[in-house]
Amino acid sequence: MDVLLGSPCVEPFFSMIGRESVKSILTEALQSERKELLNGRSDHASCESVLARAKPLLERRGAKSLIPVVNATGVVVHTNLGRSCLAEEAAEAVLAVARRYNTLEFNLEEGKRGRRTDHVEWLLRRVTGAEAGLVVNNNAGAVLLSLAALCQGKEVIVSRGELVEIGGSFRIPDIMAFSGVRLVEVGATNRTHLRDYANAVTENTAALLKVHPSNFRMEGFVSSTPREELASLAKDRGLFFIEDLGSGMLIDYSRCGLLGEPTVRDCIEQGVHLVTFSGDKMLGGPQIGGVAGKKQLVDALRSYPLHRALRVDKMTLAAFEATLRLYLRGEEKRIPTVSMLFAESHSLQLRAEALLNTLRSSFPNGQFTLTEVDDAVGGGAFPAEKLPGWGVSVSMEDWGSAGRVQRLLRGAQPPVVAGARENETILHVRTLLPGDEERILEAFRFAETRALRGNE
């Protein structure tokens, strides 16, 4: 072990992960070598073979894992790539409160303890038109809190067509069971009528729950009950009407061809008592779960013990406050997600042409073609809608297949995650942030060096 720890190739990792962590990884490699000798899978072991085994893991543990990438997939709200990117104002707000003491739970006017969600509750009321607002860690938490605080031990009626599962195995029936409510399914998978809800109401019913289908759409012989009718039924029977809206739309996106989805304000105006939604999807903010609705109900959620377990931290609140203020000022297009969704075809084409010319002049051995593409909203919103866009098709014969080109770009510095179409690598420009064209150029240079060396 002393010889291994004294190796020049090991020394740089001491400052990255500490001497004890390096020693632990070397010990694992040493034990693996011993095991292969004892099992007859190897007839030789040395310090060099141990180091060769340990080095990939040392490099992996010594490098940062959560790092920025260039999103060239054309998927705007890309769940695997961190969903929405924050506006500059939101990022600056996060940095400001992260570095210094702040007013997280302190009222400067009164000089005493304040309430952390006060920073965003007034803003939520203004942008949604609701009587009150509240935030928790994510939309799943918002749904869980709403059901547990208002309906525990009671029945909640849901259409069979809305008993959905979304990413990460989040299932509405499971969330309902965990919150302590009894699920009552009504209607058929493809059609649910008002009478289905009405016939299912009993003396133990607490609420009607409407759920955004997210990630899928049913077409053909389908129908669902309008919100206004459900609101009227809830009022007549003395029930809560709760909606899990999911995507968190605060503005109308019909101008960019995205039709048929309500905003949070629409839901409130159509009689929903409590709306829950995500902050990092169509809204374009940080991961957060918003709740907007009747003050009496929001107050009940705020005082429920589970609320503390789901509360958000100072950096998330700072980002959300800054994002909501952009909406309040009518400057929502400063939010990257909103800007990308409203990007016009002509501007995307010009940007793709500029990227094409840059790559052609820098890599004459490659083949680059301007191409029309289908982009996507992502994050479960508008799953059946395609956003017409532009991109650059890439073929690098010296590098190998399209799959290898994509791997090389992902392993570059900085990493570039590209789109794919048949045997093509596609760089979609809709999801490129300012400066990403230069980052793509750097990544191609890095990848070319590795390709010529035979590395990936």
Average pLDDT over residues 32-57: 84
- Could you tell me the pTM of the whole model? 0.91
pLDDT higher than threshold 70 for residue 21: yes
Q: Report the alpha-carbon distance of residue 153 to residue 205 in Å, rounded.
A: 10
Q: Report the alpha-carbon distance of residue 243 to residue 159 in Å, rounded.
A: 12
pLDDT tens, 386-437? 999 999 999 998 898 999 999 999 999 999 999 998 888 999 999 999 999 9
Please state which architecture CATH assigns to domain 87-332: 3-Layer(aba) Sandwich (3.40)
Question: Residue 178: which of 152, 159, 202 has the closest Cα?
Answer: 152
Cα angle 25, 414, 92; round to 5: 100
* Pairing, β 240-246 against β 274-278: parallel
Average pLDDT over residues 377-386: 84
pLDDT tens, 219-258? 667 788 999 999 999 999 999 999 999 888 999 998 888 8
* 189: confidence class by pLDDT, cuts 50, 70, 90: confident
Residue with tokens 């702040």: 102
Q: Report the alpha-carbon distance of residue 151 to residue 448 in Å, rounded.
A: 59
Cα angle 13, 14, 20; round to 5: 115
Question: In angstroms, how far is the first alpha carbon of the chain from the final one?
Answer: 31
Q: Respond yes or no on whether the N-terminal peptide bond of residue 414 is cis (omega within 30° of 0).
A: yes
What is the CATH T-level fold of the domain 70-80+339-453, as seen in this structure? Answer: Aspartate Aminotransferase, domain 1 (3.90.1150)
Average pLDDT over residues 187-197: 91
Largest interatomic CA distance in the chain: 81
**Is residue 342 within 8 Å of residue 430, measured between CB atoms?**
no
Q: Where are the domains of the chain?
A: 2-62, 70-80+339-453, 87-332
**Is residue 185 within 8 Å of residue 163, measured between CB atoms?**
yes
**Is residue 284 within 8 Å of residue 253, measured between CB atoms?**
no
Task: Kindly tell me the burial class for residue 306, based on how many C-beta atoms sit within 10 Å of its own C-beta (0-12, 13-18, 19 or more).
Answer: middle
